[in-house]
Amino acid sequence: MKPETPVIYLDNAATTFPKPEAVYREMDSFYRNYGGNAGRGANPLARRAANLVNETRELLKQWLNAPEVVFSPSDTIGLNTVIFGARLRTGDVVYVSPFEHNSVARPLEHLKKTIGIVIRQLPYDRQTMNCKLDEVKALFRLEPPAMICVSHASNVFGVLSPVEQLATLARQVAPSVVVVIDAAHTAGLKPLNLSQIDAFVFSGHKSLYGPYGVSGIAFGRNWRPAPFIYGGTGTQSESIDMPQDGVSRYEAGSLNVSAIAGLHAALLWLKEVSREIINTHIEKLTEEMYHHLSHLTSVRLISPHNSSFSTGILAFNVEGISPQIVETALGAENIAVRAGLHCAPWSHEFARTLQAGGSVRVSVGYFNSSEELQVFATSLQKLLS
């Protein structure tokens, strides 16, 4: 790597980078000026930290149009909270997409092995990667779902799943079904009607442009999981039991207020820039990236045309060259992409790329430019020549 050359960062599906300048300033300011422990005492610093947490919670509720939001340290912990907290029973049927991250697949596999839940993959077309909703109706009638746990957007191919339609179809045959959406890649950009969704799990450091260390769960309905992590909450300390209601039921331990400060700044930035402008820019860049890749010999695009453009994620492979070698070669040119299975082996089984070692994923964000994509395409062409 050439340290004097700026890195062209095309791995925004792993984490968006860079962050808005306000995120850096606010996180630095927190530890320098008001680094108290939110909810732990009435001293001025603790109160100021608590106010920041409450303000960020309100901003999230507005941004997601959700009646209640709780914080978690990561999207993975949020998903574990709702999956294990649903208290599924032997024989319960859980429907997933073929595109689930291991943060969904592994907890469900654990429950399959320990209590005997049944995991069913929803039918998707291999070419378009669209969900076959007519077949879904028949499946739901045959085996009514106890839970649907679906990624809103594939972290490998970028395609969106019709989560609102799936929730509606499921409730027609199973009104008490628990609908869980992994929104790690869409919470900042793709609003959903949460009235049919029980738990909408989001990541702070991806499409929300915040830092690591803060994510959360937005509850759209009255359903609530059992607590997953037990401990001090700063509330009802006289009781040995976890609080029975309210956000503190799910927020054991000291909150990462520094990360929440960064997310607070990111949410204000998102509001100022607007979803429309960010989405338009990302869709434009993804169209350009698809165009570049489709004109390179030996490149096989795996993400279908158009359907993944709104998320900025595209996957491809190069004939005769492993994804890992492509990543390494681009890295030598100071271009950051990601190769491999992307913690989503089901996706590569579905796309038949598992034996090839996965795929190369390029993912753009708001701070990328057309000029960077041209450099990426030129470097890739040089590798192929």
pLDDT digits (tens, 9 = 90+) for 86-107: 999 999 999 999 999 999 999 9
Q: What is the pLDDT of residue 4?
A: 67
Kindly give, in sequence order, each residue whose CB lies less than 8 Å from that of residue 275, ignoring residues fewer than 6 positions away: 188, 189, 191
Question: CA–CA separation, 16 vs 228, rounded Å?
Answer: 28
Q: What is the pLDDT of residue 88?
A: 98
Q: What is the pLDDT of residue 2?
A: 47
Q: What is the pLDDT of residue 1?
A: 45
Q: With a cut of 70, list the residues of the chain below it in pLDDT.
A: 1-4, 233-234, 236, 307-308
From the list 69, 82, 343, the residue with the least C-alpha distance to 214 is: 69
Q: What is the pLDDT of residue 352?
A: 96
Strands 199-203 and 215-219: antiparallel
Q: What is the pLDDT of residue 276?
A: 95
What are the helix (H) ranges across the chain?
A: 21-33, 44-64, 75-85, 102-114, 133-142, 163-173, 257-273, 275-294, 323-332, 345-351, 370-384
The predicted model scores a pTM of: 0.94
Strands 178-182 and 199-203: parallel
Beta-bridged to residue 149, according to DSSP, are 96, 180
Q: How far is CA 122 from CA 127, 130, 178, in A?
A: 15, 11, 16
b/e code 344-368 from CB counts within 10 Å (16+ = b): bbbbbebbebeeebbbbbbbbbbeb
Q: What is the pLDDT of residue 308?
A: 64
The rounded mean pLDDT for the chain is: 93
> Is the distance from CB of 230 to CB of 252 less than 8 angstroms?
yes
Q: What is the pLDDT of residue 176?
A: 96
What SS3 class is residue 23? helix
Domains in the chain, start-ordered, CATH in brackets?
8-19+275-384 (3.90.1150.10), 25-272 (3.40.640.10)
